[in-house]
Chains A and B, each alone.
Chain A
Amino acid sequence: MGRSERQDGAMRLEVEDLTVHRGGRLVIAGLGFAVDRGEALILRGPNGVGKSTLLRALAGLAPPSGGRITLTPDLALEDHVALTGHLDAIKLQMSVAENLRFWAGLHGGDADAALIGAGLEALADRPAGFCSAGQKRRLGLARLLLAGRAIWLMDEPTVSLDREAEAWLTGQVRTHCAGGGMAVIATHVALDLPAARVLRMQRPEPQAAHGTDPFLQGRWG
């Protein structure tokens, strides 16, 4: 499922005048940008500026309260994104290989290839609960390899990775983009992605921040 989407012609993720509220508070206001096939976009900005919220909005988990997120050609965004957040979505009671096999079953990828691709084959039978933080993060990132989604949304992917793993990660992002994929990465470290564009996010204007969440107003206000 979804394996062939990278062959699609011109794919473009467009964000226009995006406004997102979280917990009734305005987090993102009037944000616009576009990502084309093969591009990586790096989100920068101080803590709390809305990088994670933006990624969740792009993934369709946090519905925008204004503006539009469109994927051209006219495709359902949620079928084409893969998100890695602060949490690795790993079940600690299952082994590394079992975690990957479950995701492979869910998305239809190749678990063994992802295991080798992430350099985790030596840990295959180890319960994920006994892996180090960096190993868990690698396992979490390996999910992107088998999901076969065109748009990778990554929230601070380098946390707890060592230099070698970080190089592996940037290599994977480059390969993904070279194959026609896209990546939106929120990070504080300088990633070795020379072709990537940088989006500096800023806090919304204070007066605008007083607005209430239209979602709450419309239904319960």
Chain B
Amino acid sequence: MRAARALLLRELALALRSGGGAGLGLAFFLIVLLIAPLGIGPELGLLSRVAPGLIWIAALLACLLSLDRLFQADLEDGSLDVLALSPLPMEAVVALKALAHWLTTGLPLVVAAPVLALTLALPGPAYLPMVIGLLIGTPALSFIGAVGAALTVGIRRGGLLLSLLVLPLYIPTLIFGAQAAIRAGRGLDPATPLLLTGAITLFTLALAPFAAAAALRINLR
């Protein structure tokens, strides 16, 4: 537990310091959602119809931005060897790093989304399902991303490959997360898509640490 706490606190500290990239995702999210209405035009009906999808796509891309450094920075300075030989199992290392990524990238998006949704004229009843959807959906983005980051850890400029690997896997979360807000906006019950979003997240939380740890072990050989 002591080791897990030490690693989590280190990850959070590093993310918040210079070159950590914690603010990067949030800044990207802000910019995309603020310029989207400028491109689409001021027609409120159209904006409110595309708002849920836009918010989710922006969240997906914002999460991707800082993922390529998730393990690469540790590989480059030798820390990954130290972590591999530490009393923490590699799976726990992956889970803690992905959790730190979510806390510094995913969680700020959840907080910022309702404010930005105003500029997109999101229908009133859709706010709560959208925030809940983001809250339970974004952890899956960090954990699926961790698998991609582990696979591409040894590749220079692996960010593009990472996007190609990871974005298709984000699709279920995108569909169900956006559907929850869309259905609520039309006055329908958002419970089913929300439950499916949560199910995908639980599935990834259980599986991703093992897949990413296996990929890292091969990359350390």
Binding site for B on A (CB under 8 A): 1-2, 22, 59-63, 78-79, 81-83, 85-94, 98, 101-108, 140, 143
Contact = CB atoms under 8 A, between A and B. Distances in A.
Contacts of A94: 10, 13-14, 17
Given A63-B221, A106-B87, A91 B3 contact: no
Contacts, number: 81
Nearest to A86: B78
B79 interface: yes
Interface of B: 2-3, 5-7, 9-10, 13-14, 17-20, 76-79, 81-88, 220-221
Given A93-B20, A102-B6, A143 B82 contact: yes
A93 B14 contact: yes
A8 to B, nearest CB: 17
Nearest to B75: A87
A47 B79 CA distance: 24
A61 B7 CA distance: 20
A88 B19 contact: no
A85 B188 CA distance: 59
A93 B79 contact: no
A83 B81 contact: yes
Given A60-B85, A103-B82, A143-B82, A87 B3 contact: no
**Max chain B C-beta neighbours (<10 A), residue from A78, A79, A105:** A105
Nearest to A213: B221
**Max chain A C-beta neighbours (<10 A), residue from B10, B78, B87, B221:** B221
Contacts of A60: 85
Contacts of B78: 85-89, 140
B82 A93 contact: no
**Max chain B C-beta neighbours (<10 A), residue from A78, A92, A94, A106:** A106
9 contacts: A1-B87, A78-B85, A81-B85, A87-B76, A89-B81, A91-B14, A93-B17, A103-B82, A104-B6
A93 B77 contact: no
Contacts of B13: 94, 98
A106 B18 contact: no
**Max chain B C-beta neighbours (<10 A), residue from A82, A88, A98, A107:** A107
Nearest to A128: B77
Nearest to B80: A89
Contacts of B76: 87
Nearest to B2: A105
B20 A107 contact: no
Contacts of A83: 81-82, 85
A106 B6 contact: yes
Nearest to B16: A93
Given A94-B13, A105-B3, A61 B84 contact: yes
